[in-house]
Amino acid sequence: MALFGDGTRCVHGGHPEPAGGTPLLPGPVFAAPYHLGADGDFYGRAGNPTWRALESAIGDLDGGHCVLLPSGMAATSTLLRAVLRVGDALVLPSDGYYATRQLVHDELAELRLDVREIPTPGPWDDGVFDGVRLVLLETPSNPGLDVCDIAALAERAHAAGALLAVDNTTATPLGQRPLELGADIVIASDTKALSGHSDLLMGHVSVRDADLAERLVRARTLSGAIPGPFETWLVHRSLGTLDLRLSRQADNAAALVAALRDHPAVRGLRWPGTPDDPAHDLARRQMRRWGGVFRFELADAAAVEEFVRRSRLVVAATSFGGLHSTVDRRAQWGDPVPEGFVRFSAGCEDSEDLVADVLQALG
Ligand SMILES: *Cc1c(COP(=O)(O)O)cnc(C)c1O
């Protein structure tokens, strides 16, 4: 698939070669046990053709071996448990997805990790990677939409003997290919834009090293935390329109950012896709295209509530990347941001409708 463009790869990725009399698209395979005898699958916790079809499509886009897991946090926790040993040092974004920090401090407390939390835009001081086993970056970061230099940090992490992983949820593999920029590992929540319909949870880890992929598959089989075949099939179905959805979402984000830039009620507007954003030049160098998520601040929590009440198209929901425009006031989840800070996820509505609705809702 690598010779084709993004839209083609999304539409055709992971689907079987045409063969007369077989279904154009295979449906989900629900089997728990399989008939024994051949070399194929034997039990649904260890292997499933519906997983492999989607893993082939996503792995092709990421440029690595993809291991599907039932949520983004399942991807993160499976990776951390597979790679980290007692007493290891780990670098995490202080401004990234909050549950990753909770996981490390609460669930993985028994590992007594040396956790170094660094904001995505840095500073990345000399020696930050000394003695580190794993560096996890998140760029663009959720919810702040800050950006760090994957290639430069991968080089420094490797020089220090560390593995470099990137949480690529916000960008999706169409927006950014961390493995091509030097990262060893990509993790992602496919609950967000990759599946994009706000009706399921899914995640994956993609890696360059086949042995690490094997270890992750084994961890999935033995932990028992496996994706459901039906959800997997829905993600594969949704992946077909990722290119189209992202285009509309990015167009809508661009239109909204332009409309809100000089709005008196709006402060702290950030979207890496706009040339006046402080992260734009770096994002442009390493990203392939933009997505629909941006952020801004209103005066306080009440102003956000009033905005949602007055809007006919934007609802409050704590996810992003879906067909429907949503807004999330992040302070309510404990993110270290002001009370009126919102992450806005532009959906696939018509731009004119969305801009008009958001402007009237802001009053
Ligand atoms: C949502 C999210 C996750 C967690 O994914 P789930 O599918 O909800 O488990 C991890 N990282 C980022 C950046 C996210 O936005």
CA of 145 to the centre of ligand 1 (A): 14
Task: Answer whether 326 contacts ligand 1 (Cβ < 6 A).
Answer: no
- Tally the C-alpha atoms within 13 A of residue 41's C-alpha that lie toward its C-beta: 17
CA dihedral (168, 174, 175, 176) positive or negative: positive
- Nearest residue (CA) to ligand 1, atom 11: 97
Task: Answer whether 249 contacts ligand 1 (Cβ < 6 A).
Answer: no
Task: Answer whether 70 contacts ligand 1 (Cβ < 6 A).
Answer: no
DSSP string, 7-69: HHHHHHTTPPPP-TTS-SS------SB--SSSSS--BTTT--HHHHHHHHHHHHHHTSEEEEE
| Sheet strand arrangement including 315-316 | 267-270, 293-297, 341-345, 326-329, 315-316
pTM of the model: 0.97
Judge whether 87 and 66 are in contact, CB under 8 Å.
no
Instruction: Point out the ligand 1 atom lying closest to the alpha carbon of residue 319.
Output: 1
CA of 259 to the centre of ligand 1 (A): 29
Give pLDDT, residue 53: 98
Q: How far apart are CA 208 and CA 62, in angstroms?
A: 10
Give pLDDT, residue 1: 75
Instruction: Point out the ligand 1 atom lying closest to the alpha carbon of residue 190.
Output: 7
CATH of 6-239, picked from 1.10.1740.10, 3.30.1130.10, 3.40.640.10, 3.90.600.10, is 3.40.640.10
Domain residue spans of the chain: 6-239, 242-362
From first to last of the 363 residues of the chain, give the pLDDT tens digit: 778 999 999 999 999 999 999 999 999 999 999 999 888 999 999 999 999 999 999 999 999 999 999 999 999 999 999 999 999 999 999 999 999 999 999 999 999 999 999 999 999 999 999 999 999 999 999 999 999 999 999 999 999 999 999 999 999 999 999 999 999 999 999 999 999 999 999 999 999 999 999 999 999 999 999 999 999 999 999 999 999 999 999 999 999 999 999 999 999 999 999 999 999 999 999 999 999 999 999 999 999 999 999 999 999 999 999 999 999 999 999 888 999 999 999 999 999 999 999 999 999
Q: 242-362, which class in CATH?
A: alpha beta
- Nearest residue (CA) to ligand 1, atom 8: 72
Q: How far apart are CA 174 and CA 31, in angstroms?
A: 32
Judge whether 361 and 265 are in contact, CB under 8 Å.
no
Instruction: Point out the ligand 1 atom lying closest to the alpha carbon of residue 170.
Output: 13
Domains 6-239 and 242-362 share a fold: no
Task: Answer whether 194 contacts ligand 1 (Cβ < 6 A).
Answer: no
CA of 195 to the centre of ligand 1 (A): 12
Give pLDDT, residue 119: 97
Task: Answer whether 142 contacts ligand 1 (Cβ < 6 A).
Answer: yes
CA of 93 to the centre of ligand 1 (A): 14
- Nearest residue (CA) to ligand 1, atom 6: 72
Q: Select from 221, 219, 205 the least CA-distant residue to 134.
A: 205
Give pLDDT, residue 3: 87
- In a 3-state reduction of DSSP, which class is residue 133? strand
280: left (phi over 0), alpha (psi -120 to 50) or beta: alpha
Instruction: Point out the ligand 1 atom lying closest to the alpha carbon of residue 141.
Output: 13
Judge whether 287 and 178 are in contact, CB under 8 Å.
no
Give pLDDT, residue 2: 72
Radius of gyration of the chain (CA): 21
Give pLDDT, residue 268: 97
